């Protein structure tokens, strides 16, 4: 049975699955509706996504203003530093972030509710990230906040002298003070 661990922002939950290993490899349950519901994650998932990225790729910080998506994120190969930022002005954690290491070794997952921005940095040579989403992708509502916004002050584990690989879209993201947020 999975463990559900609250983070500094209580709505962000680390899911630590029970992993059964033997000579053949391992087995784990990554989602079970009844157990997730008991842990307070009642959202329905409608879409699964998979990205593969090279070392030092930084994706994010992404969110949607329409069709807001909750995400259940896990890494099937490699390691990432996964970040979620609370964009709800009504939350006592508005503008705060949580960073979690997710890997194929620890097998942890991160539940990110709707109305959070999300991004990650690849720490291994390559990482394959899969996530379930609670709503469909809507390009008209897609928004990006700069990964290096000084007000957010995210402590990305980037070694001195290393530059993250960032898309043009992510490099052109809004600063946090000017980003569209939620009530």
* Strand arrangement of the beta sheet that strand 116-122 belongs to: 97-103, 79-86, 116-122, 58-64, 142-144
Measured distance CA(171)–CA(155) in Å, rounded: 17
Q: Is 50 a catalytic residue?
A: no
Active site residue 63: no
- In the chain, % helix, strand, coil (3-state, to 5) comes to 10, 45, 45
Instruction: Count, in order, helices (H) and strands (E) of the chain.
Output: 2, 13
Active-site pick, 63, 131, 136, 137: 131
Catalytic entry in 31, 50, 62, 67? 62
74's CB contacts (< 8 A; 6+ apart) are 30, 102, 107, 108, 109, 110, 129, 130, 131
Which of helix, strand or coil describes residue 88?
A: strand
Q: What is the set of active-site residues?
A: 62, 131
């Amino acid at each position: 049975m999975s463990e559900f661990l609250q983070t500094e922002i209580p709505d962000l939950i680390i899911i630590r699955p029970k992993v059964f290993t033997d000579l053949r490899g391992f087995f784990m349950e990554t989602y079970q509706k009844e157990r997730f519901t008991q842990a307070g994650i009642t959202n329905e998932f409608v879409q699964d996504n998979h990205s593969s990225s090279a070392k030092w790729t930084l994706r994010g910080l992404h969110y949607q203003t329409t069709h807001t998506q909750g995400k259940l994120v896990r890494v099937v190969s490699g390691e990432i530093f996964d970040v979620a930022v609370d964009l709800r002005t009504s939350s006592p954690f508005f503008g705060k972030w949580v960073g979690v290491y997710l890997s194929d070794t620890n097998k942890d997952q991160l539940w990110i509710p709707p109305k959070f921005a999300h991004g990650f940095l690849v720490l291994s040579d390559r990482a394959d990230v899969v996530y379930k989403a609670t709503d469909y992708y809507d390009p008209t509502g897609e928004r990006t906040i700069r990964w290096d916004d000084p007000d957010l002050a995210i402590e990305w584990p980037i070694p001195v002298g290393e530059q993250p690989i960032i898309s043009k879209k992510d490099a052109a993201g809004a600063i946090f003070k000017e980003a569209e947020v939620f009530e």
